[in-house]
Structure 1
Amino acid sequence: MPIPEDVSGFELDKGVQQELQSLPKGLAEDVGKNLVMVARLIDEDPEGAYGYSRVALRLASRVAAVREAAGFAAYANQKYSEALAEFRAARRMTGNVELWPVMADCERGLGRPEKALDMAGAPEVQKLDKAGQVEMRLVAAGARRDMGQLDAAIVTLQSPELASSSVQPWTARLRYAYADALLAAGREDEAREWFAKAVESDKDGSTDASDRLAELDGVEFVDAFDESESEGAEDGAAPAQADDERRDEQDQ
């Protein structure tokens, strides 16, 4: 697959670059560039990211960072079985537990929420950092909802991190998930309160909390572009009609 000229491979995290040093120099460069493309495209063009991940995997399947990137690319394309296999391979290579939450979410994607809940209660969760533990809580709550256990999902999300007034990278998503669970349980007033709190903490627009809040408030958005086009068409019709009338008068 084509690699843009501005991609060097040095855009990668230093840790990943160190992993690639186990490969011959030319191969390391090729793999690195493909990994950069995975990271660049995974949000806006997941299919494209998946294609580059397959190239990197073909070139260096024994590098943990490659297996991890392949896992996330497959995950972004809802290829949960494939993603889980790649994440497991990366974990075997490194011994790290940081992929535990996304592995559990793959189990959800495969229709096995009970397995995801088992993973949420495993000893590995205690080894996760705070961000990882919050992610695991989100996955566990999602599994509860998959099983129709809305009240249990709400309780799962209730935590010191949710109650905290400080804003962390995970705060907006946690508050959003809590609001969404409340709304699903028919607790609309509480849901509105928590969607508002999610908006306050969502500085980079990682959720659509503002849209959900507006929807609860009954706000309807009008496409200003379409409206202006319509007005323009009406404004344009008047001069044309006036010209026709003037020509008629001159003919008379």
Structure 2
Amino acid sequence: MPIPEDVTGDEIDKDVRQELQSLPKTLAEDVAKNLVMVARLIDDDPEGAYGYSRVALRLASRVAAVREAAGFAAYANQKYAEALAEFRAARRMTGGVDLWPLMADCERGLGRPEKALDMAGAPEVQKLDKAGQVEMRLVAAGARRDMGQLDAAIVTLQSPELASNAVQPWTARLRYAYADALLAAGRRGEAREWFAKAVEADRDASTDASDRLAELDGVEFMDALDEERDASEGERGDQG
């Protein structure tokens, strides 16, 4: 796959660059460029990111960072079985637990919420940092909802992190998940309160909490194209 001229491979994380030093120089550069493209495209063009991840995987399948990138790209494309296999491979290579919540979410994606819940209670969770533990809580709550256990999902999300007024990188998503679970359980007033709290914490608009809040408040958004179409139809009606 073509690599844009502005991509040098030097953009990758220092730790990943160090991993690639085990490869011949030219090969390491090629792998690095493909990994840069995965990172660049994964949010807006997950299919493109997946393509570059497959190239990197073909070039250096024994590098943990490559397996991890391939896992993220597969996950972004909802290829959960493939993502799980890559995450497991990366974990075997590094011995780390950082990917544990993502692996559990892959189990959800594969229709195995019970397995995800088993993973949420595993010793590995205690080894996660705070962000990882919050992520695991979100996955566990999602698994409860998959199983129709709405009240259990709500209780799962109730935590010191949720109650804290401090805004952390995970705060908006945690509050959003809680609000969404409350709404699913028919607790509309509480859901509105927590969607509002999610908006307060969502400084980079990583969720659609503001839209959900407006929806609860009865505010309707019309697409600009719809407005133009309605206006033009009105003009034709007047002419008729």
TM-score normalised by structure 2 residue count: 0.95
Q: Which residue is equivalent to 2:51?
A: 51
Alpha-carbon offset, residue 236 of structure 1 = 10
Larger CA deviation: 190-199 vs 224-233: 224-233
Task: Please say if 1:210 is aligned against 2:210.
Answer: yes
Aligned counterparts of 2:179 and 2:78: Cα–Cα separation in 1: 25
Letter paired with 2:186 = G
Letter paired with 1:140 = A
- Give secondary structure in 1 for the equivalent of 2:56: helix
Q: Which residue is equivalent to 1:99?
A: 99
- Give secondary structure in 1 for the equivalent of 2:207: coil
Aligned counterparts of 1:150 and 1:45: Cα–Cα separation in 2: 33
Following superposition of structure 1 onto structure 2, how do residues 77-226 of structure 1 map, counting pairs within 5 Å? 77-226=77-226
Q: Which residue is equivalent to 1:249?
A: none
Q: Which residue is equivalent to 2:27?
A: 27
Aligned counterparts of 2:89 and 2:234: Cα–Cα separation in 1: 63
Gaps of 5+ in 1: 241-252
Aligned counterparts of 1:193 and 1:107: Cα–Cα separation in 2: 31
Alpha-carbon offset, residue 227 of structure 1 = 2.9
- Per-residue CA distance 1:111-165 (angstroms, 9 max, x = gap): 1111101110011000000000000000000000011100000000000000000
Instruction: Determine what percentage of the aligned residue pairs are the same residue.
Output: 86
Letter paired with 2:213 = L
- Give secondary structure in 2 for the equivalent of 1:140: helix
Aligned length, in residue pairs? 240
Gaps of 5+ in 2: none
Alpha-carbon offset, residue 166 of structure 1 = 0.5
Alpha-carbon offset, residue 222 of structure 1 = 2.1
Alpha-carbon offset, residue 16 of structure 1 = 0.4
TM-score normalised by structure 1 residue count: 0.91
Letter paired with 2:114 = E
Alpha-carbon offset, residue 233 of structure 1 = 8.2
Letter paired with 1:176 = Y
Aligned counterparts of 1:169 and 1:22: Cα–Cα separation in 2: 34
Aligned counterparts of 1:40 and 1:184: Cα–Cα separation in 2: 35
Aligned counterparts of 1:31 and 1:101: Cα–Cα separation in 2: 26
Q: Name the CA shift for 1:233/1:216 in 2 (closer, same or farther; >3 Å).
A: closer
Query: In angstroms, what is the RMSD of aligned CA positions?
Result: 1.8
Q: Name the CA shift for 1:219/1:62 in 2 (closer, same or farther; >3 Å).
A: same
Alpha-carbon offset, residue 75 of structure 1 = 0.6
Aligned counterparts of 2:89 and 2:228: Cα–Cα separation in 1: 55
Aligned counterparts of 1:109 and 1:9: Cα–Cα separation in 2: 32
Alpha-carbon offset, residue 224 of structure 1 = 3.6
Alpha-carbon offset, residue 82 of structure 1 = 0.7
Letter paired with 2:188 = E
Letter paired with 1:181 = A
Aligned counterparts of 1:12 and 1:236: Cα–Cα separation in 2: 56
Letter paired with 2:170 = W
Alpha-carbon offset, residue 66 of structure 1 = 0.1
Letter paired with 2:171 = T
